[in-house]
Every structure is written in structure tokens, then in C-alpha cells.
């Protein structure tokens, strides 16, 4: 319990409320934790977070077992909603920019999974249309997931991030990056430079 | 407190998360409380950390260099843009305002023909749980420059009347309390284009 709460405190400080309410790494409220390797440009997670297990529904209506589908692959996990005016689309565009700057074969290895916090409005069709704005030229399309509100709450709890409130509009701004060893040692908040993610992707792909 | 298990154990390679994760409900409550609490911290922090902070601009006594913008009274609005929206329903406009006058002003409302509803959200963190996104005016202190940038603030365009594509130009009417109103032609830029003026996203 103590370790869980410690993790909550770390994530709480880098999580932000409201799609619109994000942070930047320069804010005094945001403190990057030193990473064991000291090599990441994102925010270090200490202790590392295991790849969570949850099952939701993808944009084609199929069950998507997150742990099984992404195991062993560098995976960026982000929770948000498509009616978000600024932070969510900005974040997705930055993720796409980082991947465009990443050479193959790593670019095709990376999974990007976006889970809606607003399942009432974000149907599979809405999610798919929104995501295709960002990845049209990328070899591996972004995965969009939805489910019941309870399932999505559970997925956030499994990922050890604060559960969204306010019909999903107040949600964590974190993007968790899981490595090939199925642990996340680094996360990003909106306002992070795409170059930080581009820099860190090869490291987590090696299981750094 | 005498427990010796406080140091975080390194993650075992090949370890698996337990199914269901077993997160206690207390954790969830604590996490929610944390995120709500952090909002206040971020709000307070931004004023001192924001690169566009009015304090920094006001501290400069040198005459401001000319900028290419639209002037109304003592105000000059520049680097306005709308990012092509990924959602068919909602978009955001961003801009900077320089006040060369000796009295403060504020942008309280805006009107955009491309949207059914236009509102100023100068403080993106002002959203409170259980409330609709709250409109907050953009304060423009005397002799200062302020900016609406992603994650800090925006003019929200809702119920879009049509599709906004990169290359389009949208009319945006701003109503300042003292300087009055000014009509801008705001370019829509692509999802991947850099913001005008080098503003960070």
C-alpha cells in the first residue's frame, strides 16, 4: 500500500486536470524524477510501472486485450477525448511527429494506443475518424479504444494514473511509454517536445 | 514507519502485471484528489513560469518593436491562428495581444462565423469537475504582451458550421472591454504545421 501511494504521489504531480489544463515540464509543480539510467528525456517513473492488463473495444468493435496485443512492443498509452479543443489533438500531433522522425524498423514497432475518457460521445467510428487526422502517413495506425465508463475507469486504475472525472474532460495528461520489457520507466506530459519522445523510443525498445 | 520496505524494488525483467491489477479503491480516491489538487498548483505556477508572462513583458522599459498585427486602440493582436481541428465539432484559436497603453484591458468575448458558439478560455486550468468548461476572460495588463497557447488558453469554437481545412481563413471578432472590437482574418493551419511566431505548442 505504501508503494502504491508513493506511485500515486509521483503520478499525481505530473498529471494534470482537464484536457485543456495541461502542464509543461518547466512548471515548478512538475518535477522530473531522476531515472536510474539518467538517459531519458521524458519524466522518469520510479518505481517503473508494469504494462497494465485491461480489455476494451477497438474502433472496429473487436475486443482489444491491451497486455496481449502490445506485449514486448514499445507502446505509448494515452487517455483523452476527441472533443478536447487543444491538448489532446496537440499531443497526438506531437506523437505522430516523433514517429515520423523515427527510422524504420522501430517506427513500425511502436504501438500508440489512445483510450477515450468520454465513451458516451467517442464511439469507435468517431475515434477512428479523429485518429486518422494524425497518422495518415504512418505505417502503423494508432489504436483507439473505448468501452463502458467502468471499464475505462478500471483501465486508468490499472495504468496507475488518476481516473478521469467530469465526463472524461478532466483527465491525466500523461503519456506512458512502455518498453520491450513491459515496464514504463518514462512518461510525457503535453508540452513535451516531440524530440524527447523520439530520443527515448530507441532506449525503451532496447529495454533500457 | 520502521518498515524496511520503503525503497522501491527494481522491476523484475519479464514480470507481469497481475490481472485486474488489484488497485485499492483508496488509491483511486487519493489519485483523484491529487489531480484535483494539482490543478491549483499548476494555476499558481504558471504565472511565474510562463514564458509569455505579463510580468516579464511589463518589466521591459524599452519601446516595443513594431509587430505585424491588427491594432485596435492601444492593443495589437498578432500571430492568430486556428489549428485544423481533428474533431468535426470543436476547434481552438490562438493569438497574442500586446498592450502598449498604460491601462489594463481584457478580452471577454469573441464571435466567429464558423462556429455556433465562441468563448474565451484564457485559463485552461479553470475547468472544475462537474462544470461545463468555464469561459474565462484574457487579462491584458498595461504595457504587456499575453498569449493564448495550447494547454494555457484558447478561444474555443464549438458547433462548427462547416469543415475547417488548412488554407482556410476564418473571421474572428474580438471584443475588448476598453479598446473595443476588432475583426481578424485568422488562417487555419495544418495539424502538423508549426505555430506562427514560433509559439510552443
Q: Tell me what ipTM this predicted complex has.
A: 0.70
Cα separation of the two ends of chain A? 27
Q: Which of A67, A86, A92 sits opposite B151 (nearest CB)?
A: A86
Asked if residue A43 has pLDDT above 50, the reply is yes
Cα distances (angstroms) measured from residue B44 to each of A132, A176, B39, B49, B50: 36, 26, 9, 9, 11
* pLDDT value, residue B125: 58
Nearest CA in chain B to A167: B130
One domain, residues B36 and B103:
no
Q: What is the pLDDT of residues A58-101, one digit of tens each?
A: 999 999 999 999 999 999 999 999 998 888 898 899 999 999 99
Residue B93 in any domain: the answer is yes
* pLDDT value, residue A171: 72
One domain, residues B37 and B84:
no
Question: What value does the mean pLDDT take over residues A138-159?
Answer: 95
One domain, residues B185 and B151:
yes
Q: Of the ranges A171-175, B37-41, B174-178, which is most confident?
A: B174-178
* pLDDT value, residue B118: 95
Instruction: Specify the higher pLDDT residue, B156 or B132.
Output: B156
Report the distance separating Cα B51 and Cα B55, nearest Å: 10
Instruction: Specify the higher pLDDT residue, A91 or A11.
Output: A91
* pLDDT value, residue B124: 63
User: Nearest CA to CA, how far is A105 from chain B (Å)?
Assistant: 23
One domain, residues B91 and B133:
yes
- Whether the CB of B29 is below 8 Å from some CB of chain A: the reply is no
Asked if residue B65 has pLDDT above 80, the reply is no
pLDDT band at residue B150 under the 50/70/90 scheme: confident
* pLDDT value, residue B54: 39
Residues of A in contact with B24 (CB under 8 A): 1, 4
Residues of B in contact with A158 (CB under 8 A): 17, 20-21, 23
Report the distance separating Cα A20 and Cα A17, nearest Å: 8
* pLDDT value, residue B6: 39
User: Nearest CA to CA, how far is B92 from chain A (Å)?
Assistant: 6
Least confident stretch, A110-114, B22-26, B68-72, B167-171: B22-26
Question: What value does the mean pLDDT take over residues B12-39?
Answer: 38
* pLDDT value, residue A104: 95
Asked if residue A128 has pLDDT above 70, the reply is yes
DSSP E strands, A24-141: 43-50, 55-58, 63-65, 75-80, 111-116
Q: Which of B5, B121, B150 sits opposite A90 (nearest CB)?
A: B150
Residue B86: domain span: 54-60+67-198
Q: What is the pLDDT of residues B120-146, one digit of tens each?
A: 998 765 444 434 567 889 999 999 999
Q: Could B17 and A67 be called an inter-chain contact, meaning their C-beta atoms sit closer than 8 Å? A: yes
**Pairing between β-strand B90-99 and β-strand B154-160 as defined by DSSP bridges:** antiparallel
pLDDT band at residue B55 under the 50/70/90 scheme: very low
**Pairing between β-strand A111-116 and β-strand A143-146 as defined by DSSP bridges:** parallel
One domain, residues B31 and B128:
no
* pLDDT value, residue B28: 40
Question: What value does the mean pLDDT take over residues A107-135?
Answer: 96
Residues of A in contact with B91 (CB under 8 A): 85
Report the distance separating Cα A55 and Cα A63, nearest Å: 7
One domain, residues B74 and B45:
no
Please spell the DSSP secondary structure of A143-184, one letter per residue: EEEE--HHHHHHHHHHTTSPPPBTTTTB---EEEEE-TTSEE
Residue B14 in any domain: the answer is no
Instruction: Specify the higher pLDDT residue, A35 or B170.
Output: B170
- Structural domains of chain B, count: 2
Question: What value does the mean pLDDT take over residues B94-113?
Answer: 96
One domain, residues B30 and B127:
no
Nearest CA in chain B to A22: B151
One domain, residues B42 and B80:
no
- Give percent of chain B with pLDDT exceeding 70: 60
Asked if residue B32 has pLDDT above 50, the reply is no
CATH number reported for the structural domain that contains residue B136 in this entry: 2.60.40.1890
| CATH architecture for residues A2-205 | 3-Layer(aba) Sandwich (3.40)
- Whether the CB of B41 is below 8 Å from some CB of chain A: the reply is yes
Asked if residue A39 has pLDDT above 60, the reply is yes
Residue B6 in any domain: the answer is no
Q: Which of A21, A94, A158 sits opposite B42 (nearest CB)?
A: A21
Asked if residue A192 has pLDDT above 50, the reply is yes
- Whether the CB of B4 is below 8 Å from some CB of chain A: the reply is no
Least confident stretch, A186-200, B125-139, B161-175: B125-139
Asked if residue A136 has pLDDT above 50, the reply is yes
Cell of B2: 520502521
Mean pLDDT of chain B: 72
Amino acid at each position: 500500500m505504501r508503494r502504491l501511494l508513493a506511485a500515486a504521489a509521483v503520478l499525481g504531480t505530473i498529471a494534470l486536470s482537464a484536457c485543456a489544463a495541461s502542464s509543461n515540464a518547466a512548471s515548478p509543480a512538475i518535477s522530473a524524477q531522476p531515472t536510474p539510467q539518467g538517459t531519458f528525456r521524458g519524466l522518469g517513473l520510479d518505481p517503473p510501472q508494469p504494462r497494465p492488463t485491461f480489455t476494451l473495444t477497438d474502433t472496429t468493435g473487436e475486443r482489444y486485450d491491451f497486455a496481449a496485443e502490445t506485449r514486448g512492443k514499445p507502446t505509448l498509452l494515452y487517455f483523452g477525448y476527441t472533443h478536447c479543443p487543444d491538448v489532446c489533438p496537440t499531443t497526438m500531433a506531437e506523437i505522430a511527429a516523433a514517429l515520423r522522425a523515427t527510422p524504420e524498423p522501430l517506427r513500425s514497432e511502436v504501438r500508440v494506443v489512445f483510450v477515450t475518457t468520454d465513451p458516451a460521445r467517442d464511439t469507435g467510428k468517431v475515434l477512428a475518424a479523429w485518429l486518422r487526422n494524425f497518422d495518415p502517413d504512418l505505417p502503423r495506425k494508432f489504436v483507439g479504444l473505448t468501452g463502458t465508463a467502468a471499464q475505462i475507469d478500471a483501465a486508468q486504475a490499472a495504468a496507475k494514473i488518476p481516473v478521469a472525472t467530469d465526463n472524461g474532460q478532466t483527465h491525466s495528461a500523461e503519456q506512458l511509454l512502455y518498453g520491450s520489457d513491459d515496464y514504463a520507466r518514462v512518461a510525457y506530459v503535453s508540452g513535451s517536445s516531440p524530440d524527447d519522445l523520439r530520443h527515448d523510443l530507441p532506449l525503451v525498445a532496447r529495454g533500457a | 514507519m520502521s518498515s524496511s520496505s520503503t525503497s522501491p524494488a527494481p522491476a523484475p525483467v519479464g514480470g507481469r502485471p497481475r490481472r485486474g491489477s488489484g488497485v485499492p479503491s483508496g488509491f483511486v480516491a487519493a489519485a483523484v484528489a491529487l489531480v484535483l489538487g494539482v490543478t491549483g498548483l499548476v494555476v499558481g505556477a504558471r504565472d511565474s513560469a510562463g514564458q509569455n508572462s505579463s510580468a516579464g513583458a511589463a518589466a521591459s522599459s524599452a519601446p516595443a518593436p513594431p509587430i505585424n498585427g491588427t491594432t485596435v486602440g492601444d492593443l495589437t493582436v498578432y500571430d492568430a491562428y486556428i489549428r485544423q481541428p481533428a474533431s468535426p465539432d470543436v476547434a481552438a484559436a490562438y493569438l497574442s495581444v500586446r498592450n502598449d497603453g498604460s491601462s489594463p484591458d481584457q478580452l471577454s468575448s469573441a464571435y466567429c462565423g464558423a462556429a455556433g458558439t465562441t468563448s474565451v478560455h484564457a485559463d485552461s486550468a479553470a475547468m472544475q469537475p462537474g462544470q461545463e468548461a468555464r469561459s474565462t476572460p484574457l487579462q491584458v495588463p498595461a504595457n504587456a504582451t499575453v498569449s493564448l497557447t495550447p494547454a494555457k488558453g484558447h478561444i474555443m469554437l464549438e458547433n462548427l458550421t462547416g469543415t475547417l481545412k488548412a488554407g482556410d481563413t476564418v473571421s474572428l471578432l474580438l471584443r475588448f472591454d476598453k479598446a473595443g472590437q476588432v475583426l481578424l482574418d485568422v488562417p487555419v493551419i495544418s495539424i502538423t504545421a508549426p505555430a506562427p511566431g514560433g509559439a510552443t505548442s
